[in-house]
Structure 1
């Protein structure tokens, strides 16, 4: 796609192939949103009594600049005409009603990206929202994104992995809430007066996931002295291949939350559980994607092999050492995968180098998937608390619990007269601490992981792990 500014034709029309971020209205819209964000409170409202706040007239003028920006780029995005009309209405109503807690339900309901999944199709998204793993406040954000929906993926979704709400997307440009670790666009995060009965789309930025994966994997391979198969080394060097791997992984992972032998009270319903149950659910979905990737590779899809190694490396290298240790269920899943492979002699840390049995890795990874699937299948016949203990037993079979854990001592150490949700209070913030191996790896990867904040495919050296140069063999287990 061309990067030049949109030029009007003789008839006054614009070409839909032009990039929205090349239109002169986009930087003006983005600047206006950034100006307004600085005045918002945590809930998205504007307190005009706060220090540094504008008067309502000035805030309204900024909203009108945002409206002008939306209307300026709208001719490029005729497929979103209904959304843009509703967005302008929500923005002006918010201003007219005094900038209280924003309510953008009307524009949320009008935005339907999953209804037209076409590869390369652009969207301008403006909502008051928090960004998951990013900004916790409901600030106004503006994002220009592009759909990732190649023919091979569309065919797999149609014939094997039905997921009509899933949208693979990439960043074109964004405001400050996405200059973070957030790699998703979910309707649940948007400020509305009431939650809709059902959501109709969900987007995951595969370019950010791929660029982050590449940078961390490059550094990990260097630190650990891991020798990669030639084709996998080539994949890690290729942003486009990694994006394709992640969009396929995400599509299968996302649908797995509602597929399989699930307990009656499934993960997707909001509830209070010990965090290892969330860790097992996320790992189950990833390992299901891995298992399907093995089948896809056998069926001639080159993306299948790429997904397998994306799952293995992201889970083993990045997940365990990313984020705080408080109830870090994604970190726990990564620890569990590594420990399982290590204890089944697929992964070995010998002579200060990591070795992987590439031939056995698919089989043994699928064995762990089968153990979690059996946990779920058996869980249908268990009371909730018994199921939680069974999950704990599975995890602690491969990971050492904290020595001070009451859950590790079994049911006799807990007050079982309490309802299950109260027993969650007895779970330690870091119930399964990092091993010595991961403690050392975390120190070596700390700066690399920090450098991935806000990363996209267009970030200079996006996939280069040299941000924290170290020599092989410095991790000591």
Structure 2
């Protein structure tokens, strides 16, 4: 049951630390660096190179200015000294080689934010890279960020949810590639000559929390949903929401690597029907929810807030965010909403959304168990049979598009062909939005759009 939770900060934030962060974000060297990176980005093409030789003199000037600014800022981030020294060398080599496709492997392998997870620790990040949910162009990005590592999360990671690669962070400042919906910093997005072993992944909890608060508040007002006091508190408190997302992300991220997995947990270099990605992401979220229910019983602060965050982000923000082209996160949210609705845990009656709060945990966990059972069975199934079983799970709750080939089953599908043929048969919007979500998207679409680039 979602019981009342005490609200207290997980960490104490000294004003001196806040002043130091503000000083760094407004430091003249950082401001010059940010502007010069912006100017350099404008000279690059999609792969990060600068083929226009007429632009090379200006690019050399900007690269020299960027290197000088980095050197000025090193004393503010002494733990990054070796990495930043390598950045300037990679930058110089790129210039000397004539501004071809950049290669920052040498500096990337020296950047290890996962080795020093200290709340409030700052990093200066500079790479040619693409930003997920932002741009697929590998242009230079400069980001000032701060680690978020509340004591309770540090304790849980050390004792119950080990995840040595997980690095929760918040923005201090950033260049144009992050003035988007991107809320992650992953090493695999950096331009390199060969793929190294990846040892970390960073998630911006402040952006996740801020867009959650804005969108869910608008959705709750639009649907006239009466929020429990703790849920309302979560929407009112940015810091509380950030800490909640750090705890959620800790469990979600590690779940990709745990359980009865019939495939590569991160599904890297695999081309599959997008509803399989939907189920994987939803499985990780519902696992976080299940653990949060257990943590609440153990008296862990914020465990109840994680339950609200998973529920509201999934059913309100995800389905109406982004395009309808293979929107796997949106599909997962649609599936959760429809499952709860069809079990009368939530109802949409008289233009008002109501929730039977005591029944929420069991219903959410039950859906998670359905997905876990699918995974367990699929270890013994051929790939095609697993894909068909996954489709059956989703289509048992959501209505496919009337033009769907997949909805016709094996008689309509090219099951004797290549897996690629099955994937190509999936419609870009295989499970369209329901009338409820179509109406919600019209009413809060502007609010969703306004969260691009948001921090706090």
What TM-score results when the alignment is normalised by the length of structure 2? 0.95
Specify whether residues 222 and 22 from structure 1 end up closer, same or farther in structure 2 by C-alpha distance, changes over 3 A only: same
Query: Is the 1:245–1:307 Cα contact (8 Å) retained in structure 2?
Result: yes
1:374-393: CA deviation from partner (whole Å, max 9, x where unpaired)? 00000001000000010001
Equivalent residue number for residue 180 of structure 2: 180
Residue 10 of structure 2: aligned partner:
none
For residues 253-402 of structure 1, the aligned pairs below 5 Å read: 253-402=252-401
Matches within 5 A, 1:200-215: 200-215=199-214
Aligned residue among 14, 20, 25 for 1:21: 25
Structure-1 residue corresponding to 2:47:
43
Residue matched to 1:164? 164
- Partner in structure 1 of residue 64 of structure 2: 64
1:439-458 per-position Cα deviation (integer Å, ceiling 9, x unaligned) = 1111011100110010001x
Separation in structure 1 between the aligned mates of residue 17 and residue 80 of structure 2, nearest angstrom:
21
Tell me how far apart the structure 2 counterparts of residues 336 and 390 of structure 1 sit (CA, whole Å).
15
Instruction: Give the structure 1 partner of residue 138 of structure 2.
Output: 138
CA distance in 2, matches of 1:266, 1:202: 15
Q: In structure 2, what is the equivalent of residue 418 of structure 1? A: 417
Residue deviations 1:129-150 (CA, integer Å, cap 9, x gap): 0000012211101000000011
Deviation at 1:397, TM superposition (A): 0.8
Does structure 2 conserve the Cα–Cα contact (< 8 Å) formed by 1:267 and 1:278? Answer: no
Q: Does 1:74 align with 2:74?
A: yes
Post-superposition offset of 1:57: 2.5
Q: Which moved more, 1:40-49 or 1:377-386?
A: 40-49
Q: Which residue of structure 2 aligns with residue 128 of structure 1?
A: 128
1:454 and 2:453 are equivalent in the alignment = yes
What are the equivalent positions in structure 2 for 1:224-235 lying under 5 Å apart?
224-235=223-234
In the other structure, the counterpart of 2:111 is 111
1:463 match: none
What is the rounded CA distance, in whole Å, between the counterparts of 1:279 and 1:21 in structure 2? Answer: 37
Aligned residue in 1 for 2:153: 153
The answer to which structure has the higher helix fraction is 2
The CA deviation at 1:18 is 7.1
Listed as ranges, the gaps of 5+ residues in structure 2 are 1-14
CA–CA distance in 2 between the matches of 1:432 and 1:17? 45
Deviations 1:25-61 (A, max 9, x none): 1101111101101000000001225xxx52x222111
SS for the counterpart of 1:204 is: strand
SS in 1 for 2:72: helix
RMSD: 1.4
SS in 1 for 2:125: strand
Deviation at 1:264, TM superposition (A): 4.4
- Distance in 2 (alpha carbons) for counterparts of 1:265 and 1:442: 34
What does residue range 77-96 of structure 1 map to in structure 2 within 5 Å?
Answer: 77-96=77-96
**For 1:31, which of 30, 35, 42 is the aligned residue?**
35
Task: Tell me if structure 2 keeps the 8 A contact 1:26–1:73.
Answer: yes
Q: What is the CA deviation profile of residues 195-250 of structure 1, one whole-angstrom value per residue up to 9, with x for unaligned ones?
A: 11x20110000000000000001100110000011121111110011001111111
Moved over 6 A (4+): none
Q: Which runs of 5+ in 1 are unaligned?
A: 6-15, 458-477
For the structure 1 residues 265 and 142, does the alpha-carbon distance in structure 2 shift closer, same or farther, using more than 3 Å as the test?
closer
- In structure 2, distance between residues paired with 1:64 and 1:243: 37
- In terms of mean alpha carbon deviation, does 208-217 or 268-277 score higher? 268-277
How far the C-alpha of 1:265 sits from its partner, in A, is: 4.5
Q: Is the 8 A contact 1:2 1:18 kept in 2?
A: no
CA distance in structure 2 between the aligned counterparts of 1:275 and 1:265, rounded to whole angstroms: 15
Cross-structure match for 1:218? 217
How far is 1:266 from its partner?
3.9
In 1, are the aligned partners of 2:209 and 2:238 still within 8 Å (CA)? Answer: yes
Change in Cα spacing, 1:355 to 1:132, as seen in structure 2 (3 Å) is same
The alpha carbon displacement at 1:17 in A equals 7.2
Deviation of 1:268 after TM superposition, in Å, equals 3.0
CA displacement at 1:2 relative to structure 2? 5.0
CA distance in 2, matches of 1:3, 1:137: 35
